[in-house]
Structure 1
Amino acid sequence: MSAVQAAKDLAATATSSITNLVNGAKLPQNQTILISGASGFVAAHVLNSFLQRGYNVRGTVRSEATAEKVKQTHSKYLKQLSFAIVKDVAVPGAFDEAVKDVDGVVHTASPFVMDVEDNERDLLNPAVKGTTEILKAIKKNNPIVKRVVITSSFAALVDLSQGTRVGYTYTEADWNPVTWDEAKTGPGGVAYCASKVFAEKAAYEFVEKEKPNFTISTICPPMIYGPIAQSVTDLSRLNTSAADIYRLFNGTTKEVPATEFPAYADVRDVGEAHVRAYESVGAAQQRYFITGGNMSYREICEIIREVPEVKEKVPQAAPGSKEPEVYKVSNAKATKELGMTFIPLRQCIIDTVHSLLKVEQSVGK
C-alpha cells in the first residue's frame, strides 16, 4: 500500500468515526455488516473497506470451502469475520438466518454472465429475486437494520439503443429503458444490462411499497478493474473484468478490441463507495454513479505496454487510427455527496496488471 493510500485510509477511518459519533450511531467496531456474495471480485474489496474501518463482517458464501478461501484472502481480519451459508440467493427464505442480529446489509451477489441458455431463468429472475429476497428477509427478521447498500451497475443507466450517444453525459438520473420482453429474447449483453436495471428498480419499489425500517442506496459502476483481492486458483476462472485485462497481455488477443462500454471504475473506489453510502445519512434512497471517467481499450493497451514484462504481448492500434467519439460520464454526485476521489485509469490498470502477474506466479500459467 502506498503512503498516499494509507493516509487516505486513515483519514477515511477518522471521518467515519466522527460521523458516527455526531449521529449518535454505534461505532464501527460495535456493528456487524452482512455482505452477500463475499467471495466475489467486488465483494472482496467491499469487505476490505468495512473491515479496515473496524466493522465486523458476516459474509454470505455458498459453502464452507468458499468461506475458508475468504478467510485466507482476509487473514488479518479473522477476528472480525464470520460467515453464513446461502446456497441459492433466489430461493425464498434463503437469507432469513443470515440477516439476524446484523446492523446493516450490503448486497453484492448477482450473476455477471453474458452467455446463458435462458435469459429469464439464468439472469433476469436470479438478479431480481436475489435482491428482493434479501430485502424481504431483513424486513421479516431484523427491524434493527436501518441502511442497505446494493451493488447495481452502469448497465442500469445506459441506453444501449442510443449507441455511442456523442455529446451526452450519463448521470444517476438516467435509467436503462429496456423492457422485460426485449431482455427475454435479446442477446446476452442486453439481458445482463436488463437484469441490473430490473433488480435495482425492484429494490426501490420494495421500499416504497413495503415501507420497511431501512432505507437503501445503490452503487452503479461501469467496467470495474483493479487488483484482485479474492481467491484465484485457476487463471481460466478469473472474474470477468480481470479476464478482460488479462487477455490483453497473455498473448491471446492480437488486435485492440472495440470498446463497447467506454467507462471504468477502480474496484477499490467501488468498495469505498459502499461503506461511504452506508455511513452517510444523506445517501438514503439515493443511487451513485461510481466511475473514474471514460476509457478505451486503446488507452488501456498503451498503459499495459508500460509494464516491461508484458510489453511485447500487448496488441497495438494501427498507426493513425482514432477512437470514435462517445458519451461522457459524470461522477459529480458521488464526489459531492460521498466525498469520493477516484483512482486514475493509469494507476488502476498498472495495479491490475501487477496483481494478475502475481496470480500468474502463484498458480502457474
Structure 2
Amino acid sequence: MASNSTTSGVGKTILVTGGSGFVAAEVLTAFLSRGYNVRTTVRNDASADKIKKSHSKYINQLSFAIVKDIQIPGGHDEAVKGVDGVIHTASPFLLQVEDNERDLLLPAIKGTTEVLASVQKNAPNVKRVVITSSFASVVDIPKGTRSGYVYNEKDWNPCPYEVAANKDSPGAVSYCASKAFAEKAAYDYVKEHKPQFEITTLCPPMVYGPSGSVVTSLDNLNTSAADIYRLINGSCKEVPETSFYGWVDVRDLGDIHARAFESPKAAGQRYVTASSGYTYQQICDIIRKDFPEKRHLVPEGTPNAPYPDVYKIDNSKVKKELGVEFKTLETSIHDMVAQFIEIEKATGKA
C-alpha cells in the first residue's frame, strides 16, 4: 500500500468515478497519500459525507462532483474539467436484473465510453485514464475450472453480445460479459477517436480485505464483505462452493490503480491483478485458526483439503511492470474478520 506517502502527486488533481465503492475507497487513499488532490463523483451528498468521514485526514485534498447517472452523454463534462488524470471505477454490479441489455450491458458500455468522451472534450491535461475492469472480462465461463489452463492478459471472455443480451441468460453470465464489452469499448474508443490520453485497464478477480469506508452496520455490506461475513455470523452452515479461483486484497488493488496511472509502461496495457488462487475452504481454515472465539460459527468442511486441480491466473505482468507485491490470503482475511469483530462490538452485535 502507498502509506509511505511519496509526494508524487502534489499539485495534481485526479478524478475518481464512483467514490463511495469498496474498491474506490482504497483508490482514494492511494492517491491522497501520494499528495494528489482528488475529486470524486458521487450520486448524492450523503455519499460525499461518508467519504469525508472515512478520509477525514485528507479532507483538504478532497472535493466532490454529483453525477446521478454515469451513462448520460455529457454527464461527466463538469466533473472532468481541470483534472490531470481519471480513474474510472464506477460500474453496475448487479446479478439479479429484469433486462440484461438495459440493466447490465448498456450501463457498463456507455458508462465507460461517455466518461472517455467527456475527458476528450473537456480535460486537455489528461494523459492517462485507468479503468477498473474485472477478471470477469478474462474468464471463459462455459469452460469451467479448466484443469491445467493458465489465464493471462491475452484471454477475453468470449460470450457473444446476443447471448449476453438474451433475457433468458443468467444474470451472472451477462454481468461477466458486460465487463468484457465495456473494456473492449474503451480500447475501441481510443483507436477510433485518437484522444490526447492513453488508457490502462485492470482486471481484478474477487476483492477481499478490510473496508476503507466507515461501516456503521453489518446489515448492508458490499458484495465482497458480505461474502466473507456470512462465514462468521452463523448464517452459512456449509463451506460454499468456490466459483472464481482468484482474489486480490482491496488495499493492493487501490495501490495498483495509482501505479498504473503513474507508470509510463502502463500506457495502453491491460493487467490481470490477482494475488493468487483461493478456495472458501482455505478462508474458513484461516478464520477458525486466527479467531477461536468464532470457530463454532464458521463452517468446518474438510480442513486443509488439498488445493483443487483448477485453472491458474498468471500475475507476472503486473508484478514485473508495476513492481507490485501482493498481500497473502491469510493477511487479507485476518484483517477483514478483525474489522468485522470490531464493528460487531461497536454496534452491540458481538
- The TM-score by the shorter chain falls in which range? over 0.9
Residues 319 and 49 (structure 1 numbering): CA distance in 2 closer, same or farther, change over 3 Å? closer
Deviation at 1:234, TM superposition (A): 3.0
Instruction: Give unmatched runs, 5+ long, in structure 2.
Output: none
TM-score, normalised via structure 2 length: 0.96
Counterpart contact for 1:34–1:99, Cα < 8 Å:
yes
Counterpart contact for 1:35–1:58, Cα < 8 Å:
yes
Match of 2:163 in 1: 182
Matched residue type, 2:9: P
Q: Give distance in 1, aligned partners of 2:52 and 2:304.
A: 49
Q: Give distance in 1, aligned partners of 2:245 and 2:237.
A: 20
State how 1:275-314 maps to structure 2 within 5 Å.
275-306=258-289, 307-314=291-298
Aligned with 2:102 (options 121, 138, 151)? 121
1:67 and 2:68 correspond: no
Deviation at 1:199, TM superposition (A): 0.6
Match of 2:323 in 1: 339
Deviation at 1:309, TM superposition (A): 2.8
Match of 1:37 in 2: 18
Q: Give distance in 2, aligned partners of 1:320 and 1:156.
A: 31
Aligned with 1:352 (options 319, 330, 336)? 336
Deviation at 1:349, TM superposition (A): 0.6
Q: Give distance in 2, aligned partners of 1:342 and 1:323.
A: 20
Residues 236 and 118 (structure 1 numbering): CA distance in 2 closer, same or farther, change over 3 Å? farther
Instruction: Give unmatched runs, 5+ long, in structure 1.
Output: 18-26
Q: Give distance in 1, aligned partners of 2:304 and 2:79.
A: 56
Q: Give distance in 2, aligned partners of 1:101 and 1:194.
A: 33
Q: Give distance in 2, aligned partners of 1:362 and 1:236.
A: 14
1:143 and 2:143 correspond: no
1:210 and 2:197 correspond: no
Q: Give distance in 2, aligned partners of 1:319 and 1:97.
A: 54
Deviation at 1:285, TM superposition (A): 0.5
- Superposed CA offset, 1:163-209 (max 9, x none): 00000111111111011111123101101101110110010000000
Q: Give distance in 2, aligned partners of 1:334 and 1:33.
A: 22
- Superposed CA offset, 1:229-265 (max 9, x none): 1233332211101000000111000000110101110
Residues 267 and 320 (structure 1 numbering): CA distance in 2 closer, same or farther, change over 3 Å? closer
Q: Give distance in 2, aligned partners of 1:362 and 1:36.
A: 30
Match of 1:231 in 2: 214
Deviation at 1:361, TM superposition (A): 2.9
Match of 1:362 in 2: 346
- Superposed CA offset, 1:98-146 (max 9, x none): 0000000000000112111211111111111111110000011111110
Counterpart contact for 1:39–1:231, Cα < 8 Å:
no
Identity of aligned residues (%): 57
Residues 292 and 96 (structure 1 numbering): CA distance in 2 closer, same or farther, change over 3 Å? same
Counterpart contact for 1:158–1:175, Cα < 8 Å:
yes
* Secondary structure of the structure 2 residue equivalent to 1:68: helix
Match of 1:28 in 2: 9
Match of 1:329 in 2: 313
Q: Give distance in 1, aligned partners of 2:115 and 2:303.
A: 51
Q: Give distance in 1, aligned partners of 2:79 and 2:294.
A: 44
Q: Give distance in 1, aligned partners of 2:69 and 2:123.
A: 20
Single out whichever of 113-122 and 101-110 deviates more from structure 2. Answer: 113-122
Matched residue type, 2:193: E
Residues 85 and 300 (structure 1 numbering): CA distance in 2 closer, same or farther, change over 3 Å? same
Counterpart contact for 1:265–1:292, Cα < 8 Å:
yes
Residues 140 and 71 (structure 1 numbering): CA distance in 2 closer, same or farther, change over 3 Å? same
Match of 2:3 in 1: 9
Residues 319 and 297 (structure 1 numbering): CA distance in 2 closer, same or farther, change over 3 Å? closer
Deviation at 1:155, TM superposition (A): 0.3
Q: Give distance in 2, aligned partners of 1:319 and 1:99.
A: 50
Q: Give distance in 1, aligned partners of 2:110 and 2:344.
A: 36
Q: Give distance in 1, aligned partners of 2:281 and 2:266.
A: 35
1:244 and 2:250 correspond: no
Single out whichever of 315-324 and 102-111 deviates more from structure 2. Answer: 315-324
TM-score, normalised via structure 1 length: 0.92
Matched residue type, 1:200: E
Q: Give distance in 1, aligned partners of 2:333 and 2:96.
A: 26
Q: Give distance in 1, aligned partners of 2:221 and 2:107.
A: 21
RMSD of the alignment, in Å?
Answer: 1.5
Deviation at 1:359, TM superposition (A): 2.5
* Secondary structure of the structure 2 residue equivalent to 1:105: strand
Match of 1:317 in 2: 301
Q: Give distance in 1, aligned partners of 2:306 and 2:265.
A: 42
Matched residue type, 1:158: V
Counterpart contact for 1:228–1:356, Cα < 8 Å:
no
